[in-house]
A and B are shown apart, each in its own frame.
Chain A
């Protein structure tokens, strides 16, 4: 199924598998006779072709090894292990014998969508599949028990099962999953399945270690950029630096004589690629290649021209409304006291550690891709369309990814790789981007500005709130079928009046949240946290402004507005209590800030302690609280929440892609800096799972990282930072 299996088969045999897959590090090390071995067992992989596939989700080998099929993509977020926990819980297998295999989208099609949706985004991998994944494990257990009972001539009801051993107590007989799997696979799945009560869980809900770790620690995991195949060539592309610009011409002759260079290709209207025997030779030739671009109508666009357009949107007419309660405009018009503030949020690049790649082999009859994607089904469609090969004759070999954060929800790079491979038939071509190309051709966190206006009465109550968002829509570019007469619904994440996904946590009599859309030519995409990032920052910093304007403590002020939002309030209280908001004074010179939001089906809050000395910020400590309903793996939830502060605070401190002459200016991590270990605060994670629902974990906390810290910075300095990132702001001396 997954690349693991191919990799291992090839590595063991040290010869190409039937698909010619040479298997990167394993094969290379073998060929080198380094005798490389790593004695710790790895949970990845290895199913023998004969092992029975009990029901698609579960394969059991004769030695009782349990291979769990994982349909969603693992890119660091840990859902692979969580999904395996859910299956194993219902299967009642021995967790130590669990291995995994990745599902391929073509196989999913052939088996009538058995594994359902494989797309991985919106913090949905677990919450979007936990029910049917558990059903899969439970169904397999039923069939295994039934097979054992059948062999003994007893009723399945008289049999018990634990850790992969089936027992008939009355006759003192027992057997293992491995012994009955062959028969079980021939049985009819049960019609009715009752899932276990979460209070009875022994694997799910527990802080088990990830099952995909060992090959990440010894270098043997083959990521997309590590792929090697027999006869493989490497393509390095360059697209028009101005998005939407055109490739006018290039002088292939100038570089075709360079060592290792095989082809110089026009990929499409806006892209050229050099194909060579190695990445470095292709990249070197690409840099030497004379290229002429037609920058098109956006050649003169700058960050300043975009900002000016967005600023107009702050007061423009619009019909796109995300939340309307009462009449906010009328209430604001007659209010005696109006507080108003403008905020802005820049373009940002996902910058996953692994740059984009895709390895494609094209023939007129069949087209296959090996490589990372967050959307296997959409990627398969892209592959088939670009290849001009029927989808039934295409396959994508999915892989674990070296970070993605939303970038690989789009399939532009797969199309590109396919169009290159199509020009070199029968040859596996690994298309791999440079970091510089990754920075230039991102699908960026959209740029927005926000004007917030609130009416405060004499007692400090918020009578009305108008949130005007001005700026770019992700959906208009990337998910056009989401667009309606009311614009892009994703724009309002975290600010909508209700629902189970991203509802605002305050009750205010008159609310208007609306959007003036302006879509610059810079291509946007969903960036871990998506629009919740800036919306939470806008609202939570403004709430802090209102509290101060009302002369109230920010926690007390919020409490008054949150009485009807008990889950929002509970996490805020937990974070506040954790940092000692009302019970302890911070150390001298240290100041605190708070933020809360609901996002991706979960309730999250953060409290921060910072100091600012001589204009230099130090973030000392963060307390984060999360109610994600059920906690499937506490130590992985902890890892996601802790990591969310790195992603969110990197954005707050440094994250900015600027536009000049129509192109993104930042080219690498030297100009697009991110947080390192030296700036990492202590993060304490509190989970307050209230049960009864499944919320996402990978994204929501990112959105409270920046506002909690910004509010603490205000407490420390009296300076209200409203424009990101902080690197552009002088915090002065205190």
Chain B
């Protein structure tokens, strides 16, 4: 039976191996914080981390992931304490309907882990998730503020 390492736990998943990781996480692991938006890796609502890298899980089959790869979902990101990106998102009241925000937060957390001080152009190029409510202005401000906060915390 395939196994997955999700948020630090290894779990058995009795699922056809061409099932997209998104649906394995939502319906078999039981974590629904990761959202379905398009199923074709366009919108980013399904963004998770695989070994720290933001990945769109809706178009990635289970067979492409091994037990050794560490998957983190939104439920795992702030499990011990809220991630700085989540804190900043609350502070700036970024979310409207909120449906896309888990993906936005996962994408941002990964971006800042790899590029702690992105320029505005880099943020605009890297965060390609769709938000239909139109929170982009606050998302942009949120990425910048989270970057500053994380630099301070490290300092």
Contacts and interface: CB of A to CB of B under 8 A. Distances in A.
User: Are A and B part of the same complex?
Assistant: yes
Interface of A: 24-25, 28-29, 31-32, 34-40, 75-78, 209-210, 212-223, 225-226, 228, 259, 278-280, 351-355, 400-405, 434-436, 635-636, 639, 642-647, 650, 668-670, 674-678, 680, 682-683
A359 to B, nearest CB: 13
B5 interface: no
Contact of A403 (B7, B26, B39, B97): B97
A677 B133 contact: no
Closest 7 A/B residue pairs (Cβ): A219-B33, A646-B134, A216-B98, A643-B134, A402-B99, A76-B97, A28-B30
Contacts, number: 210
Interface string B66-92: 000000011110110110001001100
B120 to A, nearest CB: 10
A680 B140 contact: yes
A677 B96 contact: no
B108 to A, nearest CB: 11
Contacts of A400: 97-98
A278 B27 contact: yes
Given A353-B99, A674-B130, A680-B124, 11 more contacts: A40-B90, A214-B90, A219-B34, A352-B97, A400-B97, A435-B36, A435-B38, A436-B39, A646-B134, A646-B136, A669-B43
B63 interface: no
Contact of A39 (B32, B73, B82): B82
A671 to B, nearest CB: 10
A635 B90 contact: no
Q: How large is the interface on B (under 10, 10 to 19, 20 to 34, 35 or more residues)?
A: 35 or more
Contacts of B29: 28, 32
B49 interface: no
Max chain B Cβ within 10 angstroms of own Cβ: one of A210, A280, A353, A436: A353
B40 A223 contact: no
Contact of A435 (B39, B99, B101, B137): B39
Given A403-B99, A669-B38, A677-B127, A280 B20 contact: yes
A220 B75 CA distance: 8
Given A32-B9, A34-B79, A668-B40, A217 B90 contact: yes
B99 A219 contact: no
Nearest to B79: A36
A349 to B, nearest CB: 11
A222 B98 contact: no
B43 to A, nearest CB: 6
Contacts of B40: 435, 668-670
Contacts of B81: 39
B26 to A, nearest CB: 8
A720 B98 CA distance: 37
Contact of B75 (A25, A259, A279, A682): A25
8 contacts: A24-B32, A34-B76, A210-B93, A218-B82, A670-B42, A677-B124, A680-B140, A682-B137
Interface string B124-155: 11011111111111111000000000000000
A279 B16 CA distance: 13
A190 B38 CA distance: 52
Interface of B: 7, 9, 11, 16, 19-20, 23, 26-40, 42-43, 45, 73-76, 78-79, 81-82, 86, 89-90, 93, 95-102, 105, 123-125, 127-140
B105 A217 contact: yes
A37 B7 CA distance: 13
Contacts of A676: 127-130, 136
B23 A278 contact: yes
B21 to A, nearest CB: 11
B22 to A, nearest CB: 9
B139 A221 contact: no
Given A353-B43, A353-B97, A646-B136, A35 B79 contact: yes
Contacts of A37: 79
B27 A76 contact: no
A682 B7 CA distance: 37
Contacts of B129: 676-677
B98 A669 contact: no
B124 A678 contact: yes
Given A279-B23, A643-B135, A435 B75 contact: no
B47 to A, nearest CB: 12
Contacts of B97: 75-76, 216, 352-354, 400-404
Contact of B31 (A25, A77, A216, A280): A25
Contacts of B130: 353, 669, 674, 676
B128 A677 contact: yes
Contacts of B123: 677
Contacts of B73: 219
Contacts of A674: 130, 132
B93 A209 contact: yes
A228 B29 CA distance: 13
A430 to B, nearest CB: 11
Contact of A28 (B32, B74, B102): B32
Contacts of A216: 95, 97-98, 101-102
Contacts of B133: 76, 403, 643, 646-647
Contact of A213 (B27, B93, B136): B93
A449 B123 CA distance: 39
A647 B136 CA distance: 11
